[in-house]
Amino acid sequence: MMGNQISNADRTIIDLWKRYGTVKAISVQTGYSHHKITKCLATHGYIISEAHAKILELYSQGVELEDISKEVKLSLSSVRAYLPRERPEYGQHYSKNAANIYNWRKRKERK
């Protein structure tokens, strides 16, 4: 998938969030992990709990992840899951340069 389109997985997670409003219900419906669901929702601007709001607040203030983890009493990996993606989901949204390389390789294969 090229460009800034939303992945099918993200679309499904968001639709189920709007329907059920719980990560557990989404996990049961999709089989996706809590972290995958949380990361998706955070990336698309959904705040799912008070802890999530606190993590985002502290992070925006420049507090280190380890300190946030201690403050909210969650593991470092859980804290990271509550932060929006910094890079595209693997195999989904490609940068302009990655798209150019992909297209170049496809043309090269045809020769």
* pLDDT tens, residue by residue, 11-37: 999 999 999 999 999 999 999 999 999
**Cβ within 8 Å of residue 4, ≥6 positions away:** 93
Confidence (pTM)? 0.69
CA dihedral angle for residue 33, residue 37, residue 40, residue 46, rounded to 10 degrees = -160
- Exposure string of 4-21, with b = 16+ CB inside 10 Å and e = fewer, is eebeeebebbbebbeeee
Q: Supply 20's token pair.
A: 């059920």
* pLDDT tens, residue by residue, 36-70: 999 999 989 899 999 999 999 999 899 999 999 99
Nearest Cα neighbor of 22 from 41, 44, 2 is 41
* pLDDT tens, residue by residue, 88-108: 555 555 556 666 667 777 777
Angle subtended at Cα 44 by Cα 42 and Cα 46, rounded to the nearest 5 degrees: 55
End-to-end CA distance of the chain: 24
Q: Supply 110's token pair.
A: 């045809």
Q: Supply 76's token pair.
A: 């470092």
